[in-house]
Structure formats: structure tokens, C-alpha cells
Amino acid sequence: MDLPVMPPVEPMLARAVPEIPDVGHSEPKWDGFRTIVFKDGDEIILGSRNDKPMTRYFPELVEELRRALPDKCVVDGEIVLIREGRLDFEALQQRIHPADSRVKLLSRETPVALVAFDLLALGDRNIMRLPFEERRHKLSEELGGGTESVFLTPSTADLEQAKEWFSEFEGAGLDGIVAKRLDKPYEPGKRTMYKIKHERTADCVLAGFRWHKTGGVVGSLLLGLYDDERRLHHVGVAASFPMAKRRSLVAELEPLVEKDLGAHPWGDWANRGAHAQTRMPGAVSRWSAGKDLSFVPLRPELVVEVAYDHMEGDRFRHTAQFRRWRPDRDPESCTYSQLERTASFDVEKILGR
């Protein structure tokens, strides 16, 4: 491979802001695997955020990129999996599998797509120092209307339309909106873009915690919600605390520690079969292989209010943010019914298919 921009390249990042800024360009925030595509003839590398290429996991996309992209180019984008009109991140995660036979099977059963949104090199020219407006124009010229699985992300200069997209596109599984200044160069690793994500709150049952990797202080709080059959399901964690708070939580939670694991709703967490009925912490996957999945069980008597962006199935998609304790709430009132449900929206409409 001989390109003017060679792998690895750290992608340009975005910092969170509360409102969409009027900077001249807004586009949907896709929920998938960020990738930088390096293409030199038939040779293609799909870079990742951790510098480990993802090329082998998406053979069907590699084949499509050979047809859809210019002969020599470097493109920034997002690998997404679309199923039944929505982005399906859980199914996308399953595509990362060590067995070649499984990779081939999934490439046929759950094919992925690439949504492109920036261009770093074209032909023998490095264009990272060009203003984003010029890079975007060149990308649009090269991709045109796209193909069945390679798309140019839609964009708008209209702030009001961006606000509409922020509300509507969530129903298709999108994360929010990314705003970009048109005069900026491509700056790897720097948070020079803006991201605006949804934030909601939920009252959850605190049912356990894990120790911090440094030991001796709380690392994460394990959150639960009850279903209609009064089963407490693990829905995610709250984990962003200052070190002083992590230390004080140890003393705060000590009176709630459940000594009898058999009396705890998640007491059977180490039994793989038990996870079929109740979502519990400790489910082993290729993402958690080798990790210590044990936790300190707490009697489910304390309610915590957390902020979250959106749900992925029956759990929080990302780490929730601690807001406050809710001593006024009955833990058994913390059910899935409190969660806001968004109106569905077909992702195919966003991509113009």
C-alpha cells in the first residue's frame, strides 16, 4: 500500500455540547464502528479507534468498497448495520468474531454498510489541511449517489432542519447530531467537532457495584429495572466519579452489602443458563473474555437517578451518569414503563434509499 496518508490515523473527534451550534454544517451522528478506510487499488484496510484493523471482519464491505471508492483514497466514516429500518448495534458487535467460518456466515446474514463523512486523501494528494468544506465537496463528487452499501452521510446548513433531524432520527437508532466548522482542517485525535446527544433520566435500583481497577474504591454502580413479572434486570452501569466520591461510596454502600448471594436477585449470575430469563451482570462474551466479572451484591433497597442517552434493546446503550440518590422512591416502582419510547423512523429515508 502506497498512499499519501498511511495507517494508522487517529480519527478526528467531537466534544459534547448541550445545543446544536450554528456553524454552517450539521449531519447525523451514526451509531456504529468508526473507521478510516485506506484504499490503494484492490488493497483495503479498515482502521479502527484502537489502531487494530477491522478488515477481516467485514469481507462483504471490503468487496463493495473496491467498486464504490476511487482507486486511491482515504475516507473517514462509520460502519453500520441496518436491520428492519433501524441501526442494530448489538448485531454489529456480533460481527467481531475470531472464527473465519462465522465471519463468512455473518457477512451473508447481517451485511454491513459504510456511511462516509470525510475525505483525507485522494489520488496522490494529502488533503487533510484543506478546509472541511472543500474535503466534503470532493467526497460528494467521488461518491455521487453512493451504492447499495456505501453512502455519503446527509448534511444540512439549516439549523432548524438539524434540530428536526435530532428529534426524528433517534427513532432510527441514531445517536444525535454532529456539527462541523466548514473552515477546519482534519485534525487527528483532536476534539474540534461538536456532538449533541440525547439525554434523559431514569430512576434505577442500585443492586451492586464493582471495585475500581486500582482496588479499594468503587469502580461502577450496577443498575437494575423491574419488568412486568417483577424480575430485576441489569440495565447498565454508572461509572464516572471523582476519586474522592469513589472512596466515600465504599462507606455509604457498606450497610447494604448482601452477605447471602442466594438471596440476591442476581445471585445466579455465574450460571450461564440463568441469563436467558433475567439480564444479569457477568454474562461472558468475546468482549469480556478474561475479565473479572464478579461484583459486590447489594440489597436492592436504594434508588439512584441517572442520565442516559438511549436504550439498546432492554439496556442503556452507553454508561449512565449519576445524578442523585432518590430516598423518596420505592425500588419496586423502578420499572421499564418509566422510559421514554421514541417514534420509529426508517433509516432508509435518511440515506435516501
Residue 234 has pLDDT above 90, yes or no: yes
Residue 293 binned pLDDT confidence (cut-offs 50, 70, 90): low
Domain boundaries, the chain: 13-197, 200-338
DSSP-assigned states of every residue in 283-304:
---TTTTTS----EEEEEEEEE
Q: Mean pLDDT throughout 245-261? A: 93
Q: Mean pLDDT throughout 1-19? A: 95
Q: Give pLDDT tens digits for 53-63.
A: 999 999 999 99
Share of the chain above pLDDT 70, in %: 97
- 280 vs 4, higher pLDDT: 4
Residue 287 binned pLDDT confidence (cut-offs 50, 70, 90): very low
Q: What angle do CA 161, 195, 29 make, to 5 degrees?
A: 65
Instruction: State yes or no: is 29 an active-site residue.
Output: yes
Q: Mean pLDDT throughout 311-337? A: 89
Residue 171 binned pLDDT confidence (cut-offs 50, 70, 90): confident
CATH number, domain 13-197: 3.30.470.30
Nearest to 280 by CA among 288, 70, 54, 38: 288
What pLDDT score was predicted for residue 291?
58
Q: Mean pLDDT throughout 126-153? A: 94
Which of 38-52, 308-322, 329-343 has the highest mean predicted lDDT (pLDDT)?
38-52
Tell me whether the CATH fold assigned to 13-197 matches the one assigned to 200-338.
no
Least confident of 133-142, 173-182, 271-280, 284-293: 284-293
Q: Mean pLDDT throughout 18-45? A: 96
Q: Give pLDDT tens digits for 99-117.
A: 999 999 999 999 999 999 9
Read off φ and ψ for residue 139, nearest 5 degrees.
-65, -40
Q: Read off the amino acid at residue 197.
A: K
Q: What angle do CA 298, 310, 186 make, to 5 degrees?
A: 120
- Architecture of the 200-338 domain: Beta Barrel (2.40)
DSSP 187: -
**Do residues 78 and 87 lie in contact, with contact meaning Cβ atoms separated by under 8 Å?**
no
Q: What angle do CA 245, 251, 253 make, to 5 degrees?
A: 90
- The residue from 29, 39, 184, 197 that is catalytic is 29
Phi-psi region of 90 (alpha: psi -120 to 50; beta: other; left: phi over 0): alpha
Least confident of 15-19, 145-149, 228-232, 334-338: 145-149
Residue 20 exposed, middle or buried by CB count within 10 Å (0-12, 13-18, 19+): buried
Q: Mean pLDDT throughout 124-153? A: 95
Q: Give pLDDT tens digits for 84-95.
A: 899 998 899 899
**What is the number of other CB atoms lying within 10 angstroms of the CB of residue 328?**
7
Residue 2 has pLDDT above 80, yes or no: yes
Q: Mean pLDDT throughout 110-139? A: 98
The cell for 101 is: 467460518
What pLDDT score was predicted for residue 236?
93
What pLDDT score was predicted for residue 288?
46
What pLDDT score was predicted for residue 292?
61
Residue 199 has pLDDT above 50, yes or no: yes
